[in-house]
Structure 1
Amino acid sequence: MKVEQYSSRTLFDALGRIGGERPAERLEALREAVPGRIVFTTSFGLEDQALAHLIFKGRLDIEVVTLDTGRLFPSTYKLWADTEERYGVRIRSYHPDQAALATQIADAGINGFYHSKEARLGCCQVRKVEPLGHALKGASAWVTGLRADQSDQRGRVELAGWDEERGLIKVSPLFDWSREEVVRFTEAARVPVNPLHAQGFLSIGCEPCTRAVKPGEPERAGRWWWETDAARECGLHVAADGRLVRRKKAA
């Protein structure tokens, strides 16, 4: 499939036309405003399931893809299959480069991410960040399930902005929703969700890197729980210096 490229100016001009009060309206406005390929990357978490429901039910021309790290929970793979069956779709997967993964494991060990943050970030780089680059190649816009109240690190997430790192528009239709609002939406719409959420896994990533949160802990405390610093991200939403990407609004 040929992917048509659009200039940064064209995409930046489209940024100001993305809006709406509800996530469904925002997704529709995005599709109308932005030319070219729009990609939604799902990890099959609560927010991503809500957005996938809106995209599939609305028959929006937005590609839904996932990054299969090879170390997801069995229930995540089952939810992947259940989602495809529920909506009558196929969700394309992007995988780590085999040679790069073999090198990373040979260097750090199969579970070397427990021993240093450098090793953990290296694992995330190979299993998630590099496949994301392939998934977004040639895309005009990237849809994510980020919410501003997921963590202090994500507190400045906006509806839409310009992603300097990747040269595309980045949109978070649920940016101003609370977790409770997402839960109510998925329950009302009978959206399939991961049963681990009901067991305290509020944020679900790779199996060896995710645990249930304890009472009173922040939503993302179960991710890379052995690390001591509060700013824990895999690299998908951060700049090269490790900070969460701050996106420019349209001029």
Structure 2
Amino acid sequence: MKQKKMLTLTFSQLKQIYNQEIPEVVEMADKSSSVEEFKLKMQRFLETCRMENKTAKEAREQIRLLLHYDGQDVHELSTGQDMSIQTIRLLYEFLTGTLENMELPTDLFIELFQMFKRLKGDVIPLPSPQRIKNRNDRWETGLDEEVREVRDENKERMLHLLIQKIENRKSKPSARFHFEERMSYEEKYRLVSEWWNDFRFHFFAIPYYLSLLNVTGYGYNDEAIRSYILYSPRLVETYGNIRA
């Protein structure tokens, strides 16, 4: 089954695919009274199953890692909190019909399904160079003249907006990025243009982000990108506590 079609499957439809393609995994879950028993059976299964090729060996090691870390806590640096790894437990609950969170995306179980298929030696063919090129040619690239013009126009517009932001700033001025008294607008413009390329400037807008901004007033909504580029109370509230 194609990956694109699998992404549209419901839990019950995905369970049918498991029954058809990897019934031995479903049987191990059905005959286990707990997730711990399921993990023991899975470990024995990995020790005895035949390795058809390199793909199968790699899949076996990946599943062994999932078994090893299942139930352990890891410290998530971005939030400063501990997070429990429940990959195999969720698989067991899915296969036995005891999964509580039915709003959970099916992505995890699709990925695990593909992993068990690789355990059988199934190799996913890579697309040909020509097919990759055909896919890429469907969209404009950052080197296209029209896209570069849009970026330049957006950058010009944003430079003027940044000047206004700095002029009307109510907080304590930055020691590095501020305007001296009696500076002309042209001088401010040249200064902000220099800051644009300074990684220390409290602003980021790489050409990719600039090309996503929509100033036409119609078409797609660019509010998510726009609010992410300039500092705002909501941005600080959302990301201000990230530890890196």
TM-score range, shorter chain: under 0.3
Greater percentage in strand: 1
Larger radius of gyration: 2
Greater percentage in helix: 2
Q: Could you tell me the TM-score, scaled by structure 1's length?
A: 0.21
Q: Could you tell me the TM-score, scaled by structure 2's length?
A: 0.22
